[in-house]
Structure 1
Amino acid sequence: MAVLIAIAALLLARSRRELARRNQVLAASLKSAEELARSAEELARSADQRRLTADSQAQDAAAREAGLRDEVRHLRSVRLPSLALHLISSHLPVPGLLHEDLAGSEGAELVDSVIEVVTGIVLKERRRVDAAARAALRGSSQDSQALSYRLQTEIEALQNEFSAPRRLTERLLATDHLNEQNLRLIQRTAIVCGAWPGHVRKDTYVAEVVQGASSRLRGFDRVKINSRLGSSDIGVVGRAAEPIAVVCAELMANALEHSRDDLAVEVSLIQTGNGSVCITIDDAGMGMTSEALARGVRLTSGEQQEVMLTELGDPPSQGFAAIGRLVADYGFHVSIDHPSPYGGVRAVVSVPPNLLTSIDQEAEPPSAMAPMPTVAPQVAKRPAPAAQAAQDAQADWDAGPTAPTAAGAAPELPQRRRRAATAPTTASAATATTPPPYRAPDPERERDIWTAFQEGHASGRSDTNSEGEL
């Protein structure tokens, strides 16, 4: 019995120890659960705090974004236009930031840096454009100034040559030619800058337009013009005569400048089947590079309305730019091709029918380069009896009969006899009203006539002065 009690007590003690151990494990588990719960609560509170912080940061970012967007709009619509005015007139201020609270921030620094960068770019571009404009004016003024000096020399020489009319005439012609070259340079610059050609002409023969254009050039004697027009009355309307003359002058000047002085420049005038007139200019120079040819085609096409002065080089090459502006304004066409049949460059000016006209040759004499009119052969006709009687009477009146003289005696002077008045016959009236055959103007003949007139005038003045001295 005692053994059983002892065993029962032992088992009870063991059960108590096991229960205590389990209670300890359970207590530890509860404590761990409480700690986990507290950790979860802390994590939840931290997550809430982070969420609130994120929301606040998002709101701040949205506010900064909106402020930066407003600053960009302010920069575009207010500050940059004000900056452009400020660079022109420094007394005009440039506004600052729209939101002063952004001062010192990275966005404000970026916006201000845009102002600085744009200012630098504008000033640099202004200096570049100004340099290009100075180069253009410098090149044009140098050429014009050189011609003006030559013109002044000619005028000073004229003051000492009044005693030699022929030399005076030659000097006047040389002075006039220098003035024509100077006017061409000034006119070209004005056209490039947007001005009109500055000269109004009436309807002019095509050949005279080309001949007048060549007379403006130094070395015009190297230009050989060959007119193969089908009709001699083809002319250019007045509003396009001077522009076409300017274009032909520039193309011929380019041909003369890029070929040797002993080489001729061939110019041909041809009428095409569609009614246009083509003016072909060929030189035998060295030609053009592919880059220069592409640039010339682009400038003379007339498609590029605004030509930057910086594209013209230094010294500026204004000829092609002037041609392109006139092509765009008046509607004719210019093409440049390399090589020409002579190895140089071929330029063709195509004048459309709407810029051509037919000139009345009775009201306006034909061009000096027009073909001579065909004169009908003259057929000798027997004069009418009345006309024969008038001729006999005229012969009697002019000479009169001479009486027979003795051998060795001096012949008597012819005696005039009064003749009866005769009415003019139809044949004589027709002869009197027949106009003389047309004679083309000859510059050399006109110069000789004018020189002879001046010499006679000077001789008469010297004779008058010598008589006055006596």
Structure 2
Amino acid sequence: MPSDSFSVAMVICVAVLVLALAGVVTLYLRLRGRLGQARGQLAQTRQAQDHLTRESSAWSQRLLQAERKAQENADLLREVRAQHDLLRVETDHLISKRIPALLSHLRSPHVIVPGMQNQALAGTDLDRQHRAILDALTRGIRDESERIDEAAQAVIRGAMSRVQTQALRAQDLLAGVQQRYSGDEHTALLREVLGLDMFNELIIRRMQVTGIACGATPGLSRDDTYLVDLVVGAVSRVENFELRIEGPANHLRRRIGVAARAAESILFTTAELLANAVHHSHGTLKVTIAVHETNNGAAIVIDDAGVGLNEDQYARAGRLLSGNHPVRLVDLGNPPRTGWAAIGRQVAHYGMQVTVKKSAFGGVQAVLNIPTALLVEMPEDTRPSVLAPEPVRAVAPAATAIRREPMAAATAVQQGSTAVSAHRPEPVAAHRPEPVASSVRPQPVTAPQPVTAPQQRQAEDLAPLPQRRRQSPRSASSSTTTTGDHSDGTGGRLLTTPEEAQKRWGDFQAGAEAGRREALPTEQHDITEGK
């Protein structure tokens, strides 16, 4: 029994050991399997971790790239903002400074247009674009200004033409009143009419100068006229000319006249230069005028002792008087001073020349040079008006003429010819080859005087002028016969002699001048322009 129980115990022990071993093996196998699974999962985890690491690296690189791009974008944004601020500042500078300066420069060229506010931008695209804007604005303003100025000039031309026509009609009416009431019993009325006529003449000249400055014509036409008569007419168009103008001094030696096409223009130009000299001179100072003959035509010289001009004014005068530069109304000041501009238009149209410089009296000397193409030699059977001054002669020949005049006059009376006027004795014929500006009277019969060699050479050096003849010239023989037939009073009505006509016209002009002096005020109302 004991052995059987031992065996059973052994068997049980063996069985327990076998079962334990089996359990251990089973556990081992299970653990091994689980360990394999764990290793597989660990490998997968490692792979996943590696994948995640790689993805993390990629995302890190992407994140770095994104950060760099963000930084670049931020820098670019700051640069764009800086450029925008700079552009805004330059645009404000263009609007507030440069464009107003450009407008002022177009009105006054001495105003300087500023450049870019930031000098570092000079020459850049922004600078070129702003310059293009200013250039386009300049062209547009100039084109529009020219259009407006041309329209304004057209309106002024039309208005001045109509008003000038009415003023000329008024002048004709005043002339008719002067003729109807020329008797001694109408002295007061004639004085008033002469004053009105003078004021009307000043109005006509102001309308002329305004219209001509705007491109109009003088509005009057004349025949071929003696140059000295035109100068006398120009003097009479200036206010208070009897007190303010000395002359004209006639230095012409031939019967020089001005062609009909330019007669009124020369008269207008001379009158405007005289009015300008009178206006800018003191009321007690005289303005002198003289007419000279030159190798290239003739010259009218006007000297004043006024305030003179500075360098800028001389430059402006030369530019306007040349007529080579277009002139707009806005360039003539406020109120517009149209005198020099009008003279420049006439000078450019007829090929004349006007120069101004400092005179010997401290004022201004204006010289109007008239080319030969505008001059003519007047017919021999015509004479200047009785108001035209006699030609200026040398002292020595004048003294000789005074000594010989009584003998020549006595000879003429004995031969039955017309006597010489006692008011204006005739100089010697040797020093007067052509009766340039003599009054309407016959020449005394004198013995021919020898012409000296210097005088002959001087006459030969002068260029010949175009000859103008009347369509129906009067014959000297017929006029002499008519005078002889009626000189005794038996063949008909007595004809008025030249001396009587001269005396009558002289008395009439003396009375007219006296009336003007009494009718016109002492202060100046002739507002001229130029200086």
Q: Find the aligned partners of 2:297 and 2:340 in 1 and give their Cα distance.
A: 22
Partner of 1:210: 231
SS of the counterpart of 1:280? strand
SS of the counterpart of 2:334? coil
- Residues 266 and 282 in structure 1, CA contact (< 8 A), matched pair in contact too: yes
Provide Cα deviations, 1:282-326, integer angstroms capped at 9, x if missing partner: 111122243333332222221223322x33333332211211221
Change (3 A) 1:129 1:190: closer
- Residues 161 and 167 in structure 1, CA contact (< 8 A), matched pair in contact too: no
How far 1:175 moved relative to its partner?
3.7
Partner of 1:259: 281
Bigger RCO of structures 1 and 2 (CA < 8 A, at least 6 apart): 2
Output aligned runs, 1:322-361, within 5 Å.
322-337=342-357, 339-361=358-380
Partner of 2:334: 314
Output aligned runs, 1:353-432, within 5 Å.
353-362=372-381, 364-366=382-384, 368-371=388-391, 377=408, 432=484
- Residues 250 and 390 in structure 2, CA contact (< 8 A), matched pair in contact too: no
Provide Cα deviations, 1:38-79, integer angstroms capped at 9, x if missing partner: 7889999x9xxx9xxxxxxxxxxxxxxxxxxxxxxxxxxxxx
Residues 1:180 and 2:201 are matched in the alignment: yes
Partner of 1:56: none
Residues 1:248 and 2:270 are matched in the alignment: yes
SS of the counterpart of 1:189? helix
Unaligned runs of 5+ in 1: 1-15, 51-116, 384-427, 453-470
Partner of 2:522: none
How far 1:212 moved relative to its partner?
0.5
- Residues 301 and 327 in structure 1, CA contact (< 8 A), matched pair in contact too: yes
- Residues 286 and 344 in structure 1, CA contact (< 8 A), matched pair in contact too: yes
Q: Find the aligned partners of 1:227 and 1:162 in 2 and give their Cα distance.
A: 33
How far 1:210 moved relative to its partner?
0.9
Q: Which amino acid aligns with 2:347?
A: V
Provide Cα deviations, 1:431-467, integer angstroms capped at 9, x if missing partner: 959x99x968987632547999xxxxxxxxxxxxxxx
Unaligned runs of 5+ in 2: 1-35, 71-136, 394-400, 415-479, 488-494, 512-531
Change (3 A) 1:28 1:217: same
Q: Percent identity?
A: 32
- Residues 308 and 363 in structure 2, CA contact (< 8 A), matched pair in contact too: yes
Output aligned runs, 1:49-198, within 5 Å.
164-198=185-219
Q: Find the aligned partners of 1:174 and 1:165 in 2 and give their Cα distance.
A: 14
SS of the counterpart of 2:319? helix
Q: Which amino acid aligns with 1:343?
A: G
Q: Which amino acid aligns with 1:351?
A: I
Change (3 A) 1:256 1:41: closer
Change (3 A) 1:181 1:301: same
Larger radius of gyration: 2
SS of the counterpart of 2:211? helix
Could you state the TM-score of these two structures normalised by the residue count of structure 1? 0.50
How far 1:332 moved relative to its partner?
0.6
Provide Cα deviations, 1:238-272, integer angstroms capped at 9, x if missing partner: 11111111111111001111112221111121222
Q: Find the aligned partners of 2:498 and 2:183 in 1 and give their Cα distance.
A: 32
Which of 198, 201, 214 aligns to 2:222? It is: 201
Change (3 A) 1:322 1:443: farther
Q: Which amino acid aligns with 1:200?
A: S
Q: Find the aligned partners of 1:246 and 1:28 in 2 and give their Cα distance.
A: 111
Q: Which amino acid aligns with 2:54?
A: A
Change (3 A) 1:257 1:42: closer
Q: How many residues of Structure 1 are paired with residues of Structure 2 in the alignment?
A: 302
Q: Find the aligned partners of 2:184 and 2:248 in 1 and give their Cα distance.
A: 39
Partner of 2:292: 270
Q: Find the aligned partners of 2:48 and 2:371 in 1 and give their Cα distance.
A: 113
Q: Find the aligned partners of 1:325 and 1:264 in 2 and give their Cα distance.
A: 28
Q: Find the aligned partners of 1:348 and 1:208 in 2 and give their Cα distance.
A: 18
Q: Which amino acid aligns with 1:179?
A: N
Change (3 A) 1:355 1:188: same
SS of the counterpart of 1:231? coil
Partner of 1:460: none
Change (3 A) 1:319 1:441: farther
Change (3 A) 1:231 1:292: same
- Residues 252 and 291 in structure 2, CA contact (< 8 A), matched pair in contact too: no
Cα RMSD over matched residues? 5.6
Could you state the TM-score of these two structures normalised by the residue count of structure 2? 0.45
Q: Find the aligned partners of 1:186 and 1:168 in 2 and give their Cα distance.
A: 27
Provide Cα deviations, 1:108-143, integer angstroms capped at 9, x if missing partner: xxxxxxxxx99xx99x989x989x99xx99xx9xxx
Q: Which amino acid aligns with 2:277?
A: A
Change (3 A) 1:443 1:304: farther
How far 1:229 moved relative to its partner?
3.5
Q: Find the aligned partners of 2:503 and 2:279 in 1 and give their Cα distance.
A: 27
